[in-house]
Chains A and B, each alone.
Chain A
Amino acid sequence: MAEFMDLNVSTCEDQSRVLDLISTAAQLGFSTVALNYEFEPSANHRAVPSPTPTNQLIPQLPLVQGRSRPIRVLNRLTIVTSDPGHFRPNAPEYRCYDLLAVRPTTEKLFHAACMMYDVDIISVSVTEKLPFFFKRAPVNGATDRGVVFELSYAAAIRDATRRRYTISNAVSLMESCRGRNVILSSAAEKPLELRGPYDVANLGLLFGLSDGDAKEAVSSSCRSVLLHAETRKTASGVVHTVKSPDTGPAAKRRHLME
């Protein structure tokens, strides 16, 4: 049995609802969830939201169904870009997030996101008809760089028109990326909008994924996203610097000994 992950669960002010969401995900058998903070630079000129550390949010993480380990909770930032200036590479605000995603709204930005932006996930909008086509060149470029495309299914559960948009956008994406480097996530706001991992994998069939690809979309592709996120933080996954926690007191002690 593979490990299942849901890399998009909406956060809100209400902490008890977030807790409910996390415990439902654990009950369903997801071993990793990512809490999504959405940031739209064009709509309101507020700063990038800062994530709540997970150990502050939940004192004790619930155990995953069928495993003896507690669920892993990550933080993720989604930037909705409509202007090239919205995504600032190497901004210090992005550093405190485990995962970084963009949702481009124009073709130019989609091209830039695929070829240049230092992100892990390109989120495909599912609430409107896409204003552009997915061209082969940028999609292949993203595949080569290890960036994945994300489809979320909660909007499809909510109403019929969005279900049509979700399926049509999904199928047009699958035509150009042939089912590889795609992840399926929930974007759920309520616990009742989450679905079990096997159901999600089967839902992939509606989106034009084959059996194997659909299963990969909830398990191994998500794992490669996490690994890609780690290489983004470190120098291409080889060198990693950490601030030593006890430099202050240790230095003092040495000073005293002398």
Chain B
Amino acid sequence: MVRVKSRYLLCEVNVSDRTRLLLLDDRAVAETVKATVARIHGDYGAAMCSIRFSVKYLNTHTGIVFLRFPKRCYKLLWSALPFITCIETRGQKIPCFLNCLHVGGTIRTCQKFLIRYNTQQLHRMLPKCKNEEEKQQVRKAILNCILPGGNKQDEDILESDDEEE
């Protein structure tokens, strides 16, 4: 047996106002991606995007999104992503852009990368801390950044990531 292959794009939603990230949900992201692909690549793109496309994971605190695309046309679909300028959710338009961080073949490789990336973000945050207590919290969060043995998600690490924002 050979499994059906996909590509997982690990993207970061960049916004100017970080509090508005909390408004996002996966359906809004999926709709925006589908609409943009249809706008850029027409009916062919829309058809490709309807096969096995899904939003696998969304962290509204850090703005991390996992997108699954079929392997044979992920480049075509990816080339439409830079044209996203805003995501419409709950009647509001959030101006933003997607920045692709990593392309992986499995969710697990993406997870590994994400943990490394979040550790890096915490290191970047460390010099910006204002008092000693915040520093201690960030240091503790950095030490917690390990890939759990089982299939446990790295939820707790992501959660601690945005405390200092």
A24-B14, A196-B101 known; A157+B79 contact, CB < 8 A: no
A157-B82, A205-B79 known; A198+B16 contact, CB < 8 A: no
Decide if A196 touches B16 in the complex (CB within 8 Å).
no
Partner of A192, one of B39, B96, B124: B96
Tell me the count of chain A residues lying within 8 A, CB to CB, of chain B: 24
A195-B97, A196-B101, A198-B100 known; A203+B16 contact, CB < 8 A: no
- B14 contacts across to A, CB distance below 8 A: 24, 27-28, 192
Is A63 an interface residue, CB under 8 A from the partner? yes
- A202 contacts across to B, CB distance below 8 A: 75, 78-79, 82, 100
Please tell me the size bucket of the interface on B: 20 to 34
A63-B124, A192-B95 known; A157+B75 contact, CB < 8 A: no
Considering residues A63, A198, A202, which has the most beta carbons from chain B within 10 angstroms of its beta carbon?
A202
As a 0/1 sequence over residues 150 to 161 of chain A, the CB contacts with chain B under 8 angstroms (1 = contact) are: 000100110010
- A48 contacts across to B, CB distance below 8 A: none
As a 0/1 sequence over residues 96 to 121 of chain A, the CB contacts with chain B under 8 angstroms (1 = contact) are: 00000000000000000000000000
**Taking chain B's interface residues, is the majority helix, strand, or loop, or is none over half, making it mixed?**
mixed
Is B109 an interface residue, CB under 8 A from the partner? no
Partner of B83, one of A27, A28, A157: A157
CB distance from A46 to the nearest CB of B (A): 32
Is A84 an interface residue, CB under 8 A from the partner? no
As a 0/1 sequence over residues 95 to 124 of chain B, the CB contacts with chain A under 8 angstroms (1 = contact) are: 111111101000000000000000010001
Is B81 an interface residue, CB under 8 A from the partner? yes
- B78 contacts across to A, CB distance below 8 A: 199, 202
Report the Cα distance A37→B81, complex, angstroms: 29
CB distance from B164 to the nearest CB of A (A): 16
- A51 contacts across to B, CB distance below 8 A: none
Decide if B82 touches A195 in the complex (CB within 8 Å).
yes
CB distance from A159 to the nearest CB of B (A): 10
As a 0/1 sequence over residues 189 to 208 of chain A, the CB contacts with chain B under 8 angstroms (1 = contact) are: 00111111011101101100
Partner of A157, one of B85, B101, B120, B124: B85
Report the Cα distance A163→B40, complex, angstroms: 10
| Interface residues of B, Cβ cutoff 8 Å to A | 14, 16, 39, 75, 78-79, 81-83, 85, 95-101, 103, 120, 124
Return 30 A-B CB contacts under 8 Å, by A number. A24-B14, A27-B14, A63-B124, A66-B120, A153-B82, A156-B83, A157-B82, A160-B39, A191-B16, A192-B14, A192-B16, A192-B85, A192-B95, A193-B97, A195-B99, A196-B100, A196-B101, A198-B100, A198-B101, A198-B103, A199-B78, A199-B81, A199-B98, A200-B82, A202-B75, A202-B79, A202-B82, A202-B100, A203-B82, A205-B79
